[in-house]
């Protein structure tokens, strides 16, 4: 494997073998609708995997949260770590559709020494560049999953590639949300080293199918080749 990080979404322990055999570096576990799973499922996936498992912390279908939910999220996060989780994915916006740095910093502080990525809530903010300035100051943040648009990378690719011209952004960016094969070399040349797969890892791009080793392997080879070419070009 190369120096890139390939994260694959999983929903079930039966997704683990395909992701691992295909060359994934990390798993992202959530429910099918992108919410926090039950601790028992987290435990089952972690037992089935030798790869690090990050788990989504989210309790409603908006990008906002409440005080009561935050307390539940902290409790869930602690349970997840106890079950073997290696990190989290979460991200919240305030009423002005700005990154809610207060809530995110609080969660990170309550779950210390555990890496986390900011999820695709960033794509719903009003100013992507301003959002990134807020994000890079958050404690413990290891990456930001973004498509550049709520409609996915097909719509947001150009804007996301533009903000990735900033080396600080490129170092933290993890393109996800309909990533296309032809987009990978462009991101690699910008310095991006993390990539996220969702439906692309499954036959027919359907969440009704389990993660397939062949699908993941094709992306693994693509990412490694793009990164190697980018390094040679830069050298």
Whether the Cβ atoms of residue 10 and residue 201 lie closer than 8 Å to each other:
no
| Closest C-alpha among 44, 135, 148 to residue 98 | 135
CA atoms within 13 A on the CB side of 47: 9
pLDDT of 3 reads: 81
* Average pLDDT score over the chain: 95
The pLDDT of 163-167, averaged and rounded, is 95
pLDDT of 219 reads: 98
pLDDT of 67 reads: 86
The number of helices, as runs of H, and strands, as runs of E, in the chain is 9, 8
Q: Rounded to an integer, what distance in angstroms lies between the CA atom of residue 201 and that of residue 140?
A: 28
Which neighbouring-strand residues pair with 93? Answer: 99
pLDDT greater than 70 at residue 61: yes
Token readout for 115 is: 């890496």
pLDDT greater than 60 at residue 48: yes
Q: Rounded to an integer, what distance in angstroms lies between the CA atom of residue 231 and that of residue 88?
A: 30
**What fold characterizes domain 5-234?**
TIM Barrel (3.20.20)
| Closest C-alpha among 143, 226, 213, 145 to residue 183 | 226
Q: Rounded to an integer, what distance in angstroms lies between the CA atom of residue 92 and that of residue 103?
A: 7
The pLDDT of 9-28, averaged and rounded, is 98
pLDDT greater than 80 at residue 186: yes
Q: Name the residue with tokens 């992701």.
A: 19
pLDDT of 45 reads: 98
pLDDT tens for each residue of 115-153: 999 999 999 999 999 999 999 989 999 999 999 999 999
pLDDT of 235 reads: 75
Each residue of 126-157: b (16+ CB within 10 Å) or e? eebeebbebbeebebbbbbbbbbbeebbebbb
Domain boundary assignment for the chain:
5-234
DSSP 118: E
Percent of the chain topping pLDDT 90: 95
pLDDT greater than 80 at residue 189: yes
pLDDT of 1 reads: 45
pLDDT tens for each residue of 197-209: 999 999 999 999 9
Q: Rounded to an integer, what distance in angstroms lies between the CA atom of residue 148 and that of residue 150?
A: 7
Q: Name the residue with tokens 């919240």.
A: 92
Token readout for 49 is: 């995997």
């Amino acid at each position: 494997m190369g120096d890139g990080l390939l994260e694959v979404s999983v929903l079930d322990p039966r997704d683990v073998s395909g992701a691992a055999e295909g060359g994934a570096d990390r798993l992202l576990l959530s429910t099918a609708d992108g919410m926090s799973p039950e601790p028992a499922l987290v435990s089952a996936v972690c037992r089935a995997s030798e790869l690090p498992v990050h788990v989504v912390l989210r309790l409603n279908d908006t990008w906002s949260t409440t005080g009561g939910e935050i307390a539940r999220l902290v409790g869930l996060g602690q349970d997840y770590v106890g079950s073997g989780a290696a990190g989290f994915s979460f991200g919240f916006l305030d009423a002005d559709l700005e990154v809610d740095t207060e809530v995110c910093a609080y969660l990170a502080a309550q779950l210390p020494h555990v890496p986390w990525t900011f999820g695709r809530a960033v794509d719903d903010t009003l100013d992507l560049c301003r959002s990134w300035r807020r994000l890079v100051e958050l404690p413990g943040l290891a990456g930001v999953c973004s498509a550049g648009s709520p409609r996915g990378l097909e719509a947001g690719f150009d804007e996301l590639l533009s903000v990735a011209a900033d080396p600080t952004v490129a170092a933290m960016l993890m393109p996800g949300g309909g990533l296309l094969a032809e987009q990978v070399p462009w991101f690699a040349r910008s310095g991006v080293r993390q990539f996220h797969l969702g439906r692309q890892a499954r036959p027919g791009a359907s969440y009704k199918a389990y993660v397939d080793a062949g699908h993941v392997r094709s992306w693994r080879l693509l990412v490694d080749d793009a990164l190697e070419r980018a390094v040679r070009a830069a050298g």
